[in-house]
Amino acid sequence: MRSEQEVNRAIEQYSNMIRRLCMIYLKNYADTEDIFQTVFLKYVLSSVSFESQEHEKAWFIRVTINACKDLLKSFFRNRTVSLDEIIEQPSEMSTDDKEVLEAVLSLPQKYKDVVYLHYYEDYTAPQISRILGKNVNTIYTLLTRSKQLLREKLGGDGDE
Amino acid sequence: MNDRLKNAFDKIQAEEQLKDSTKAFIYKKTRGYTRRKTAVYRRLIPAVACFLVIILGGYWLYFIPTVEISIDINPSIELGVNRFDKVVSVASYNSDGQELAASLDIKYLDYSEAVNQILTNENISELLSNDEVMTICVIGSDDEQSDRVLSEIESCTSEESNTYCYYADSDEVSHAHENGLSYGKYRAYLELQALDPTITAEDIQNMTMREIHDLIHSLSSDSNSAADSENDSEHEQIENGTGNMHGQSQAQDNGQWQGNNHGNGQGQGHGNGHGNRQ
């Protein structure tokens, strides 16, 4: 079992990332809390020894995505919720950011994590393919299509 | 678009409250970071419990007899038959029965096959040809299986003379084993006791079914007939049959009675004598 210091460090280090992944996958705050508990409990109890920071980060991404998928599988939820409900402090956001996030969230599920991992976490397509366990070419395709979709929604200005 | 996305995502931060509640949750779950990973054996407990239920349930299903077949000539044996019509226990209630049970290998056979084996057994056929009576008693709580078993056995034994089959409810004969009797004998014992309350289980234990039957027969005709002379002669027959014990007790009774008579006579004699002298 891991020590308290380790866990606190991990929480500080990865909670933002996990929060964003939850936002991509889930639709309400209570579920996000569930995911946090599941993920970090798994971390505390796991005996995986990480080779590097990168390894640890990838582990967290994978565990979070799995936990989210499990949660979604576990009961039927098929409602869309406005962004205000997902994010606790919507008032602090500019309308531009809101617009962008809404555009991302409106993408089909398979594009969302790819978009997040690529644009925010700066993973390359081969890295994403390893994390998500998908073919590299699939990732390229997903990225290209999601780029197109986002451009349509956000009134594409052509910048990469 | 890269920057816009980045900025937008940047705005999403895990709330301090969320972090704190997660930390508190982990702390609680691990009991202050002292709890070990759930031990393997604790995870096995439900599995083991299920396993036990299956084993015990299976044992109950298969090894608890639902119908008993009690076969009595003088060897008394009892076959326990489970709900799948298999013989699961063979119990004997006297020394002859033990011998018979030892010579048979009928466990886990179908009950009809087992009964057939017993009927064709040398000892049994010898006893039957010596005009012994065989009773086969089917004991069960009143249900379809005991009816089926009874009719099956009846058809098995239809060719044999001196063989009686009957059914007894398990409540009726529930005290049989306390008295060291098989169910079939106990049932006969109850019948006999209704006619003659002085009869005890020990008397019955080593009597053959022929003797018991004769006794029942004679006692029942006894109570029906009014003539004394017949009564006496039948009594004598019975007592010869049942053994010495009854005969001895009667002799003792007679002796006491004679003694009393004697005493009275002496007393009278003395009294008279005194009176005459004065």
> Which domains are seen in chain A, by residue range?
1-80 (1.10.1740.10), 94-154 (1.10.10.10)
Please name the residue ranges forming H helices in chain B: 2-11, 16-29, 40-63, 95-103, 111-120, 122-129, 144-156, 183-195, 201-205, 209-224, 228-242, 244-277
Closest listed residue to residue B17, CA positions, set A15, A151, A10: A15
Contact call for B8 and A104, based on CB within 8 A: yes
How buried is B32 (Cβ within 10 angstroms: 0-12 exposed, 13-18 middle, 19+ buried)? Answer: exposed
**pLDDT at position A112:** 87
Tell me the residue type at B131: D
**pLDDT at position A145:** 92
Please, which pLDDT band fits residue A142 given cuts at 50, 70 and 90? very high
DSSP classification of residue B134 = E
Contact call for B12 and A40, based on CB within 8 A: no
User: Which residues, given as ranges, of chain B have pLDDT below 70?
Assistant: 35-39, 142, 222-278
**pLDDT at position A156:** 60
Q: What is the pLDDT of residues A69-86, one digit of tens each?
A: 888 877 655 555 555 555
Helix (H) or strand (E) holding A160: none
Q: What angle do CA B17, B23, B28 make, to 5 degrees?
A: 125
Contact call for A93 and B6, based on CB within 8 A: no
Q: What is the pLDDT of residues B106-154, one digit of tens each?
A: 888 888 888 888 888 887 888 878 888 888 888 887 678 888 888 888 8
Domain of residue B69, residue span: 62-244
* Chain B residues within 8 A of A104 when measuring between CB atoms: 5, 8
The whole-number average pLDDT for the span A54-63 is 91
* Chain B residues within 8 A of A157 when measuring between CB atoms: 1
**pLDDT at position B248:** 40
* Chain B residues within 8 A of A147 when measuring between CB atoms: 1
The whole-number average pLDDT for the span A108-137 is 89
Out of A86-90, A120-124, B235-239, the most confident range is A120-124
d(CA B110, CA B88): 10
Give the total number of structural domains in chain B: 1
Rounded to two decimals, what is the model's pTM?
Answer: 0.47
Residue B18 contacts A, CB cutoff 8 Å? yes
Contact call for A159 and B13, based on CB within 8 A: no
Contact call for B26 and A156, based on CB within 8 A: no
Which of A101, A115, A146, A147 to probe by mutation at the B interface, max B CB count within 10 Å?
A101
What is the rounded average pLDDT for all residues in chain B? Answer: 75
* pLDDT of A160 over the 90 cut: no
Residue A123 contacts B, CB cutoff 8 Å? no
d(CA B6, CA A150): 14
Which of A23, A33, A63, A102 to probe by mutation at the B interface, max B CB count within 10 Å?
A33
Question: Minimal Cα distance from B31: which residue of A?
Answer: A4
Q: A52 CA to chain B: closest CA distance, Å?
A: 23
**pLDDT at position B27:** 85
Helix (H) or strand (E) holding A138: helix A136-154
Closest listed residue to residue A61, CA positions, set A156, A128, A151, A135: A128
* Chain A residues within 8 A of B15 when measuring between CB atoms: 19, 88-89
Q: A150 CA to chain B: closest CA distance, Å?
A: 9
Residue B113, in any domain of the structure: yes
Contact call for A1 and B37, based on CB within 8 A: yes
**pLDDT at position B11:** 78
Q: Would you say B71 and B185 are in contact if contact means Cβ atoms under 8 Å apart? A: no
**pLDDT at position B245:** 39
Helix (H) or strand (E) holding B66: none
**pLDDT at position A77:** 53
Residue B149, in any domain of the structure: yes
Q: B51 CA to chain A: closest CA distance, Å?
A: 28
Residue B172, in any domain of the structure: yes
**pLDDT at position B91:** 86
Find the distance separating the first CA and the last CA of chain B, reported in whole Å.
Answer: 156
CB atoms within 10 A of CB B68: 24
Residue A155 contacts B, CB cutoff 8 Å? no
Instruction: Give the bridge partners for B91, in sequence order.
Output: B78
**pLDDT at position B227:** 44
Q: Would you say B104 and B117 are in contact if contact means Cβ atoms under 8 Å apart? A: yes
Please, which pLDDT band fits residue A138 given cuts at 50, 70 and 90? very high
What is the rounded average pLDDT for all residues in chain A? Answer: 82
